[in-house]
Structure formats: C-alpha cells, structure tokens
Amino acid sequence: MSDIRSAAILLMSLPEDSASDLMSKLDPKEVEQVSIEIARTRTISGDEQEQVMREFSEASPSLSGRGGGLELAKALIQKALGANAAPVLASIRQSIESVPFGFLRHVDTQNLLTYIIDEHPQTIALIMSHLPANLGAEILAGLPETKRFSVVRRVATMGRTNPDIIREVERGLERRMSSVMSQSFENAGGVGAVAEMLNVSDRATERTILETLGEEDPELVEEIRRLMFVFEDVSRFTDKDIQTVLKNVETSSWAMALKGASEGLKEKILKNMSERAAETLREEMEFLGPAKRSAVEAKQQEIVDTIRKLGDSGELDLNAMNENEELVQ
C-alpha cells in the first residue's frame, strides 16, 4: 500500500475536524495527492483500515470505514487550506475526471441509457458501479425489468475488476458516445408547450383536441387545462368578466387566494366589488395573517377551475384575454 493511500485511509477514518487539522500540516502538493485519493475512494475495506490503524492502539474502536468521495475531499481541503484552497480544488476537479467513466457525469441520462441498454448485464453493472448513486438509480429505473435484477445482482456481487478491462469498456463506450459528448441539450415540448398553443387556438380547435386526447389520457388533459389558465391571468379580464367570476367565487376564497397575488390583481378585484364587500375582503385578508404557500396555491387553483367551468359554459371567453390587454401609450 502506498504512503498516499495510507494517508488517505487514515484521514477518512478520523473525524472531519481532526482530519483537516492533520491535513493542514502537509505541504500543498501532498494535500493535492491525498485529496485526489480520497475523492476516488468510495469505501475502505476492513483489512485496509486495520492495517493503517494498527499502530494507533489508543484509537476508538468505534472508528469504521465511512468512505471518501469528492465532497469529503473538498471539505477537508477548505478547512485545511482556507483561502489557499482554490488552486488545489481546481486541480482535483481536473484529476478526478480521470477516474473510470468520469466522462459520464456530464452525459444526459437518457442518452447513456440508449447506448448501454442492449449491453450484457455484467457490462452495465461494471459501468453503474462507477457512477454516482443518483445517476445509477436513473439508469436502473430505465432498464427492462428482466435485465434490472440481473444488473443489481452483479453490482452487489462485484469484487475487484482488472483495470485493463475497465479501461477497455470505458474507451469503447466513450468512442461510441463521442457524437453526443459535445452536444448540449435543451428541454423542448412538454405539457407547457401544448397549453401555450391551445391558449391561442380558437375554442373549437381547443375543445376538439382536448376531448379527443381525454379519451386516451384524461390525466394529461387535466394537467394541460391547469396550465392553460393561471391565476394571475385574471388581471387580464375586463371588469365585466371579473364581475362574472366574483359572482361564482366566495369572498373567503379570494381572501386566501390573493395572498400570493400581485398588487395589480388585488386592486382589480377590489375595485370590482362594492365598497362594503371590498372592505370585508381586506379585513379577512388581514385576519388570516401569513398563510402557507401550498394553501394559497390550492385556493387559487380552485378559482381557476371555476373560471374554466365558466369558460366551458360560455359565460366567459378565455380566448379573448389577449384582445383585452391594456394599450401602452
């Protein structure tokens, strides 16, 4: 076992404060070398730790191999070097990329899954064993159920692997994925995009699409409907339309919903009420005091649902909102 490996195991076995204090006594180059080793180390075997700790006869028996990782390495460096930690951290980030399959940390999960899903379970297990837990979990969820259990079993029983085999698998995967390594990805489409398109479609088109889609996926239609009209859009109604809404929503509901609204929307609602009703609403809002965001949003959604029903019945024309915007001089 090298001196660097031994030092890393010792530091990983000590409480963080003690480890950082000890690390502060090393020179910057030694700190960098030991930190890279810590960052690369996932767990420590009992035999390795026993060998390193044997000379510390007074050590607490409760010490156990907690493992390393990049976050622990960063924490120790920052505590040990303080303001001088930046260059060492930068060097470690560069060096850690050389760990097996390090390039996959910057690859879209779905792209990675596409490239490895047809591989042998042993190959997938080898790759997943070198990935962060959250990335490995996403890959596992995307595998066919029949292959998923085979992969998990192989990960669980995987021991030491020949470095040459690891490098061969890594080079092969990196070569195959070279076409997507330099690409950047943006989210496109989605429920929000559909809602925006339907918001500016004529009512007949909107109704036809949603009714047809609802036969296959009613939950998706409900999600689209909720995004097609948001609570703040009430401020774009004419006074007449707001008064129609006010007739169908209790004052107590407005008191909670307006907690999370803009001042412009609050004033527009209040000015369309009678003086007495507006005063009552102000008093109710003040009486409620601070409210949980989830409660406010739930009440806002109730009002939005009411407005959608008024639109379906023809009492409101939601597609006319864009025509009702104020003109800027």
Tens of pLDDT, residue by residue over 135-152, are: 788 888 889 888 888 888
For residues 317 and 135, give the distance between their C-alpha atoms in angstroms, rounded to a whole number: 46
What are the contacts of 152-161 at 24+ separation with CB within 8 A? Answer: 154/121, 154/122, 154/125, 155/125, 155/128, 155/129, 158/125, 158/126, 158/129, 161/126
- Cβ atoms of 180 and 111 within 8 Å: the answer is yes
- Cβ atoms of 221 and 213 within 8 Å: the answer is yes
Top pLDDT among 155 and 51 is at: 155
* 249: Cα within 13 Å, side-chain hemisphere: 30
For residues 221 and 14, give the distance between their C-alpha atoms in angstroms, rounded to a whole number: 56
For residues 277 and 288, give the distance between their C-alpha atoms in angstroms, rounded to a whole number: 16
Is pLDDT above 60 for 59?
no
Handedness of CA 67, 73, 74, 78 (dihedral sign): positive
Residue 66's pLDDT band (boundaries 50, 70, 90)?
Answer: very low
The pLDDT value recorded for residue 69 is 53
Length of the chain: 329
Mean pLDDT of the chain: 75
Q: Hunting for tokens 């003040």 — which residue is that?
A: 286
The pLDDT value recorded for residue 192 is 75
The pLDDT value recorded for residue 74 is 60
Per-residue DSSP letters for 95-128?
HHTTSTTGGGGGS-HHHHHHHHTTS-HHHHHHHH
* Buried-state track 30-40, b at ≥16 Cβ within 10 A, e below 16: ebbbbbbbbbb
Tens of pLDDT, residue by residue over 199-240, are: 666 667 777 888 888 888 888 888 887 777 778 888 888 999
For residues 50 and 45, give the distance between their C-alpha atoms in angstroms, rounded to a whole number: 9
Top pLDDT among 202 and 60 is at: 202
Q: pTM to 2 decimals?
A: 0.37
Tens of pLDDT, residue by residue over 108-126, are: 778 888 888 888 999 998 8
Structure tokens given for 288: 């409620």
Q: Hunting for tokens 């490239």 — which residue is that?
A: 115
According to the per-residue pLDDT averaged within each range, which of 82-91, 144-153, 241-250, 297-306 is highest? 241-250
Residue 57's pLDDT band (boundaries 50, 70, 90)?
Answer: very low
Q: Please report the domains of the chain, with CATH numbers, ordered by start residue.
A: 3-96 (no CATH), 102-181 (1.10.220.30), 186-228 (1.20.5.2020), 229-329 (1.10.220.30)
What are the contacts of 110-115 at 24+ separation with CB within 8 A? Answer: 110/142, 111/177, 111/180, 112/139, 112/177, 113/138, 113/139, 113/142, 113/143, 115/173, 115/176, 115/177
Residue 241's pLDDT band (boundaries 50, 70, 90)?
Answer: very high
Is pLDDT above 70 for 180?
no
The pLDDT value recorded for residue 27 is 75
What lies within 8 Å, CB to CB, of 9 at 6+ separation is: 41, 44, 48, 49, 52, 65
Number of helices (H), then strands (E), belonging to the chain: the values are: 20, 0
